[in-house]
Amino acid sequence: MSDRRRVSRGPRYAQITGWGMAVPEKVLTNDDLARIVDTSDEWIVSHTGIQQRCIAGERDTTLTLAVRAAQEALLVAGIVPTQLDLVIVATVTPEYLFPSTASLLQDALGAAHAGAFDLSAGCSGFIYALSMAADAIRSGSAEHVLVVGSETLSRIVDWTDRNTCVLFGDGAGAVVVSVCAERCGVMASVLGSDGSGGELLIVPGGGSRHPLSQQVLERRDQYVKMNGREVYRFASTVMPRATEAVVQKAGWQLQDVALVIPHQANDRIIAAAIKRLGLPADRFVVNIARYGNTSSASIPIALCEAIAEGRVNAGDRLVLVGFGAGLTWGALALEWGVPEPARPRPLFLRWLATFWYFLAGIRSAIRRTERALYDRTMGPEGAEGVRGKLRERSDRLRAVIARRLGRLRPEAGPTAEKPTAEDDDAARQ
Ligand code: UT7
């Protein structure tokens, strides 16, 4: 019996089945930074634990990093993009204000049956997104969800402000979350917000309150502003508290937790959490030295590295915990369900995947061209005469085809609209 049919009858759990990460090639060391602003390797390492960070090159964007991480995650999960029902991108540095980076990612992957949206919850974004994905799967509205945290913070930090520019880096991490019948995966989540601390970590300009203007640019308000000390105080308290809360919600004991994967903002914040929780330090994943703070991407990147290092095994209980702008915080209790570390996929599967993404690019180009040509050949909506009639017929025929294709797709389910008698008449004409 197929997994899907087995799952549809019994309880539904949401487990991570695929993972992938991507970082830009360009590395910026603390010594490089000391040549740009008044800082030193000694200060940065002693105050943050950061030794270097990856910085987006000219061709890297939040979307390109997301695409690379997502392709890897899909390959590990062993599913094709058309099996995805939902794509969620957690980011504070989207490709555009709109359209969403998630929609662009959906198109780039050829995930033709997936809904897509961006999620903005500061550095807690990935935790929020994973929690939403698990809810969608457990409720039965999705079978496979792609969750990505992707950032190019180097594009919104002020490279003249030593208080912030030394902290951040660029990168992306992705997971595929799939339905499963056995008890595993996301067991509990805790999400929180305190908007009264919104101004502590903010990009003041470029939004509805202060649209981009000369004044905004003069005040450098298009860049990140942060009250580091206050955020530090908040983070040091909230991280252990959220961890304890989610462990309790999952019905576990703290000692049961094999690995904690915290948001990588400052190794002193992580050290404070280790002390407060009383867990051995080797149960925490810390990779801030190499990447800095990559916001929504930091937790999935740390997860990928922990898996690659063999630190995650079937049956392990993990806690993922983050905090960030908003202020927000979130923690997830995760029981690792994948039986063994994924083997490297055979080369021919990688070639097949590359061919698929090539086709997805062609599909996207055809749709763009078709859209551009349609108005020109058929005439504008409501046009008189032969072109108007042609457009009317063509529009109706397209609607019928779209609906029929919708009915043929199993994902469309029983709620998919059926062609009406009127549609059938139109199709016959
Ligand atoms: O994802 C969430 C986002 N953000 C965070 O989690 C950040 C949380 N906060 C922190 O990590 C820390 O507060 C920082 C790393 C930002 C700062 O560390 P700190 O130990 O709290 O330093 P501080 O703010 O108390 O500043 C100490 C001094 C200041 O000089 P004065 O005023 O005492 O003379 C700063 O001007 O260090 C100075 N300073 C620097 N010096 C050299 C600040 N940045 C730098 C720098 N290099 N890059």
The predicted-structure confidence for 70-115, as pLDDT tens digits, reads as follows: 999 999 999 999 999 999 999 999 999 999 999 999 999 999 999 9
d(CA 12, CA 145) in angstroms, rounded, equals: 14
Mutate to test the pocket of ligand 1, among 232, 299, 327 (most ligand atoms within 8 A of CB): 232
Looking at 30, 144, 165, 263, which residue is catalytic? 263
Atom of ligand 1 nearest to the CA of 268: 11
pLDDT of residue 372: 83
What's residue 340's pLDDT?
58
Q: Is 345 helix (H, G, I), strand (E, B) or coil?
A: coil
| Predicted local confidence at residue 237, as pLDDT | 95
What pLDDT is recorded for position 342? Answer: 59
Q: Is the CB of 92 under 6 A from ligand 1?
A: no
Whether 117 is in the pocket of ligand 1, judged by its Cβ within 6 Å, is: no
Residue range 3-335 forms a domain whose CATH class is alpha beta
The response to whether residue 343 sits with its C-beta less than 6 Å from ligand 1 reads no
Query: Using the 8-state DSSP alphabet, how is residue 295 labeled?
Result: G
Binding site membership of 123 for ligand 1 (Cβ less than 6 Å):
yes
Q: CATH 3.40.47.10 residue ranges in the chain?
A: 3-335
Instruction: Judge if the beta carbon of residue 264 lies within 6 A of ligand 1.
Output: no
Residue carrying structure tokens 């800095």: 292
Determine whether 165 is an active site residue.
no
- Residue whose CA lies nearest to ligand 1 atom number 38: 163
With a 6 A CB cut-off, is 228 part of the ligand 1 pocket? yes
Question: Ligand 1 pocket, 334 CB below 6 A?
Answer: no
Instruction: Look up 263 and say whether it is catalytic.
Output: yes
Question: Is 123 an annotated catalytic residue?
Answer: yes
Instruction: Work out whether the CA dihedral 340, 64, 60, 325 comes out positive or negative.
Output: negative
Distance 229 CA to ligand 1 centre (A): 7
pLDDT tens figures, 394-415 = 888 878 877 776 554 444 333 3
Annotated catalytic residue within 30, 266, 287, 293: 293
pTM of the model: 0.89
Atom of ligand 1 nearest to the CA of 33: 48
Using the atom order of ligand 1, give the atom closest to the CA of residue 295.
Answer: 1
**Nearest C-alpha to atom 17 of ligand 1 is from which residue?**
228
Given a cut of 70, the residues of the chain with pLDDT beneath it are 1-9, 339-344, 379-380, 405-429
Judge contact between 127 and 119, C-beta under 8 A.
no
Residue 156 and residue 136: Cα distance in Å, rounded?
32
Ligand 1 centroid–CA 167 distance in Å is 9
How far apart are alpha carbons 16 and 5 in whole angstroms?
A: 19
Structure tokens at 373: 């040509």
Per-residue confidence (pLDDT) for residue 338, from 0 to 100: 75
Instruction: Supply the pLDDT for residue 220.
Output: 97
235 CA: nearest ligand 1 atom: 6
Pocket test for ligand 1, best of 33, 47, 48 (most atoms within 8 A of CB): 47
- Site to probe by mutation for ligand 1, drawn from 163, 225, 239, 321 as the one with most ligand atoms within 8 Å of Cβ, is 163
161 lines ligand 1 (CB under 6 A): no
Nearest residue (by CA) to ligand 1, atom 7, is 228
The answer, yes or no, to whether any atom of ligand 1 lies below 6 A from the CB of 231, is yes
- Asked whether 350 lines ligand 1 (CB < 6 A), one says no
Q: How far is the CA of 163 from the centre of ligand 1 (A)?
A: 6
pLDDT of 84 = 98
